[in-house]
Structure 1
Amino acid sequence: MSVEFLLTSLVIVVSPGTGALYTIATGLSQGFRASVVAAFGCTLGIVPHMAAAIAGLAAVLHTSAVAFETFKYLGVAYLLYLAWSTLRERGTLTVEDAGERRNPSALRVTGTAVLVNFLNPKLSIFFLAFLPQFVPANAAGPVPRMLELSAVFMVMTFVVFAAYGFFAAAVRDHVVSRPNVLAWMRRTFAAAFVGLGAQLALADR
């Protein structure tokens, strides 16, 4: 495992994106346990993209405008739905005070987290371009090597996202006890989801 791969992967994982944003939002709204579930779901959400890259299926998204646009706008629609849910104080992004706290459905948080990353066609194309760079040209079996790299990337994703969730959960009580901060937080996350949706909508192959 090269140092270059580890450093590049770390930079990619810690960069703000939809998965990190959702995990932070979940940590603030539901606490640390839910944020770990969200981190796990976001990690699962990149598995199809890695599998597609390894199998070469990501090339379909790269060459087919219809497939790419369809997948892309499904992702945009879902991000806009998350923004609406945040403003409406529904779903896994609802923040409750300690007296009203209910245990969120782990399956629901996981499902949302998986979709956040799954409905992003740029990830498939990214891994198609990213993983092969770290496979030696003379490697006897490139697929096992890419599976190994993918596994390391997934572990790093989970650890970093869980850390995001931990720090978000650590300041949760300070947020829920201040209505103005809570309202600002909802608007900020909603705006961020809209912004990421717009960025995805403008993305080209």
Structure 2
Amino acid sequence: MRITVFGATRGTGRRFVRLALERGHEVEVVARRPEAVTDRHPNLTVRRGDVLAPETVGVEGADAVVYVVGPSGRGPTNLYSEGGRNVMDAMARQGVRRIVAVTNALGDQPSDTMPQRLLKRLVRRVFLEAACRDARLLEREIRTRDLDWTVVQPPRLTNGPARGAYRTAVGDGVRGGVLISREDLAGYLLKALEDSGTVHSVISVAY
């Protein structure tokens, strides 16, 4: 599979690229700073592009897109909503249907325990209100698109090693799940990408 990845210069995106290459996929990274991609592999290509500059966003030749772009600070952001919209517009123009997009698990879910609900409200109010709001905009937008989409909602991410064991929930939160490592999230993204059963689903993943 040829996968175009946005958000591959740090965190989960970087780990996803390495894992996809290990599994034999061809990967194209589109990055605002291509020099930040330090990995080298015969099946890896890197080109300059900015999700907020639609004229630089291209996915031609891809079988699938992985969108792992998100804010790194607390301030206002449109990386989920506008960035995701620009990528999906490019997919529509260039005939690419499959996308896995990562948002966050900060929205309230039916199965949230009271501690989870209180923790999310605190995090949203103090730290990530803008990121939560913008992520929900992307989720609403992606549902309107004629694409084979999957949305993955992780909780707080850690730099721990992959455990290979985690829980998922479709259309709901993972009950009591508040953590997952970036390594395991990257592994799940690849699994979801290859699984047609995840199409048109919003999936939470956590320990």
What's the TM-score bracket when you normalise by the shorter of the two chains? under 0.3
Superposition TM-score, scaled by structure 1 size: 0.25
Q: Choose 1 or 2 for highest CA Rg.
A: 1
Question: Which structure's residues are more often strand, by fraction?
Answer: 2
Superposition TM-score, scaled by structure 2 size: 0.25
Greater length-normalized contact order (CA 8 Å, ≥ 6 residues apart):
1
Question: Which structure's residues are more often helix, by fraction?
Answer: 1
